[in-house]
């Protein structure tokens, strides 16, 4: 088919071709807007944990030496190109050594930078993390007055209806990190039941994204 014939065919069938072209343009625009563009400008989080300071905070001596606490914290760093807005961390799942699910889903993990306050936790549990900045999250901590439990550093006045500790055991933790302008992250940890003066043994196993809406 010659070029002149092609143009003649398009001229005769433009009413059929135009909706197809517009549909293709709409699909390409949506793909660019929803998938390609966000990959360049959206926040991107790096989640890390090491068995050393500043991930380990302590020993903290209280009550004139009668009580010692050691906190295990993981770091959330924004290595993307946009502010991560209203970021919060919650427990997504806990399973004990018998693979039994422990009822702590939705428990709000505390930002280590948040001072003790009587303010409503809903006003401090979500923070913005600017490009290049990082924040620590209190995962668990130990107390020398009761080494049979693993403790959570809960927000004051939190209406969770949950305890602030679980019996010492070998646990699989999954933490969900969510925000307004990025897909959530799921972070998997292993928690060892052995507790001593150096704290709780924690291993960060995996970080993955939830891509589905």
- CA pair distance 211, 213, nearest whole angstrom: 7
> Are 49 and 15 part of one and the same domain?
no
Give yes or no for residue 69 having a pLDDT over 70: yes
For position 154, what pLDDT does the model report? 81
pLDDT attached to residue 155: 79
Task: Tell whether 28 and 68 lie within a shared domain.
Answer: no
Percent of the chain's residues with pLDDT above 70: 76
pLDDT 10s digits, 89-121: 999 999 999 999 998 898 999 998 765 555 565
> Same domain for 128 and 71?
yes
Strands 165-167 and 149-151: antiparallel
The predicted structure's pLDDT at residue 36: 60
Copy the structure tokens of residue 24.
């293709």
Residues 183 and 102 in one domain: yes
Which two tokens mark 134? 């990082």
Cα 77 from Cα 136, distance rounded (Å): 9
Beta partners for 76?
47, 135
Question: How far apart are the C-alpha atoms of 101 and 198, rounded to whole Å?
Answer: 27
Q: What is the model's pLDDT at position 66?
A: 65
pTM of this structure: 0.76
- Whether 107 and 160 have beta carbons less than 8 Å apart is answered as yes
Which residue range is the domain that position 19 belongs to? 3-40
59 and 144 assigned to the same domain: yes
CATH number, domain at 95?
2.60.40
Closest by Cα among 170, 163, 166, 152 to 99: 170
Query: How far apart (Å, rounded) are the C-alpha atoms in residues 53 and 76?
Result: 15
Q: Which residue has the higher pLDDT, 78 or 198?
A: 78
**Do 89 and 11 have their domain in common?**
no
Condensed to tens digits (0 to 9), the pLDDT of residues 128-149 reads: 999 999 999 999 999 888 889 9
Residues 99 and 164 occupy one common structural domain = yes
Residues 35 and 99 in one domain: no
Total domains in the fold of the chain: 2
Average of per-residue pLDDT across 40-52? 89
Say whether both 36 and 55 belong to one domain: no
Q: Which residue has the higher pLDDT, 27 or 47?
A: 47
User: 62 and 34: one domain?
Assistant: no
């Amino acid at each position: 088919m010659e070029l002149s014939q092609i143009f003649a065919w398009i001229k005769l069938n433009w009413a059929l071709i135009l909706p197809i072209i517009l549909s293709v343009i709409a699909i390409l625009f949506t793909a660019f807007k929803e998938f390609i563009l966000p990959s360049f400008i959206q926040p991107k989080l790096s989640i890390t944990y090491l068995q050393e300071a500043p991930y380990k905070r302590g020993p903290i001596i209280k009550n004139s030496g009668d009580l010692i606490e050691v906190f295990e914290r993981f770091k959330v760093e924004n290595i993307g190109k946009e502010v991560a807005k209203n970021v919060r961390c919650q427990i997504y799942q806990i399973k004990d050594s018998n693979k039994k699910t422990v009822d702590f889903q939705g428990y709000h993990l505390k930002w280590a930078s948040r001072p003790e306050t009587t303010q409503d936790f809903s006003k401090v549990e979500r923070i913005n993390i600017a490009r290049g900045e990082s924040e620590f999250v209190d995962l668990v901590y130990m107390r020398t007055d009761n080494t049979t439990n693993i403790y959570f550093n809960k927000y004051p006045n939190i209406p969770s209806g949950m305890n602030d500790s679980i019996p010492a055991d070998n646990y699989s933790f999954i933490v969900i990190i969510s925000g307004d302008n990025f897909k959530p992250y799921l972070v998997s940890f292993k928690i060892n039941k052995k507790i001593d003066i150096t704290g709780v043994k924690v291993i960060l196993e995996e970080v993955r994204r939830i891509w589905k809406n």
